[in-house]
Structure 1
Amino acid sequence: MKCPFCKHPGTQVVDTRENEEGDSIRRRRRCVSCDKRFTTYEVVELRMPQVVKQNGMRSEFDEEKLRTSFTRALHKRPVPTELVDAAIDNVTQKVFAIGEREIGSRQIGEMVMKELLKLDKVAYIRFASVYKSFQDVGDFSDAIDAVKNPRRRQNEKK
């Protein structure tokens, strides 16, 4: 750590303290050259992966876009906000847990569909109709049949 006063590269840590939440560390340092003291803070920096869209464009992961997707699918559905927040947290944690620098938007869409299926079947169908670009009534019928018969849904994945 360079001294901010004289730019000398040598400093000593005089005191170290963790904050109350345990998510950062405060260090008092002393420059070995000019003997001045200063404070530094260490915090964990977590980076979400970049989202690779179907057209190849990349963008930052945006939890608000995720929330918008859930909100649109669940519009006027009797699902408590706490459950929606938990579902969004689940998707966010799964995206982060993958540990890659990039993730496909399709992968995120599949995660959202799984969470919506747990929350509300109508919301699942709404999201699936946009996500899978349903072309006609038959697509809706197939999706409804898959929701009614979970074994069929598992066979479709194979």
Structure 2
Amino acid sequence: VVIKQDNSRQLFDRNKLLAGLHRACEKTPVTNLQLEQLVANIENKLASQGDPEVSSRAIGELVMTELANLSEVAYVRFASVYRRFDDITGFEAELAQIRAKKNVADTAP
């Protein structure tokens, strides 16, 4: 069960998550198989937590983590909707975080 931001609850909908990921990955080289694997990873992580309820925020953060490893473009697209940027400053800050993480990963031994 997913706890929405307004505290309402609804059943976890794998297809809804997959549809959102498809929108974020439009016109990128990300394949359907990669998206299916990403959703399976998220489902496995949620199941391993052992809690029958999970916040939509927690799901969103898992998606962001998985997308960051898959496609920077898809990550930014998803983040722009998920984080609800009010202006370009928030968007630029998100891009700066991506660049910083990438630089750390590139310099790691």
1:66 aligns with 2:13: no
TM-score by length of 1: 0.62
For structure 2, list consecutive stretches of 5 or more residues without a partner in the other structure: 104-109
Matches within 5 A, 1:1-158: 50-150=1-101
Provide the rounded CA distance (Å) in 1 between the counterparts of 2:39 and 2:102.
26
Identity of aligned residues (%): 38
Provide the rounded CA distance (Å) in 2 between the counterparts of 1:101 and 1:148.
35
Q: Give the Å deviation of 1:151.
A: 7.9
Larger Rg: 1
More helix by share: 2
Letter of the 1:148 partner, please give it.
R
For structure 1, list consecutive stretches of 5 or more residues without a partner in the other structure: 1-49, 153-158
TM-score by length of 2: 0.89
Provide the rounded CA distance (Å) in 2 between the counterparts of 1:130 and 1:80.
21
Segments of 4+ in structure 1 off by > 6 A? Answer: none
Provide the rounded CA distance (Å) in 1 between the counterparts of 2:77 and 2:51.
30
Q: Give the Å deviation of 1:81.
A: 2.0
Q: Give the Å deviation of 1:76.
A: 0.8
Provide the rounded CA distance (Å) in 2 between the counterparts of 1:103 and 1:139.
26
More strand by share: 1
**Equivalent residue of 2:15, what SS?**
helix
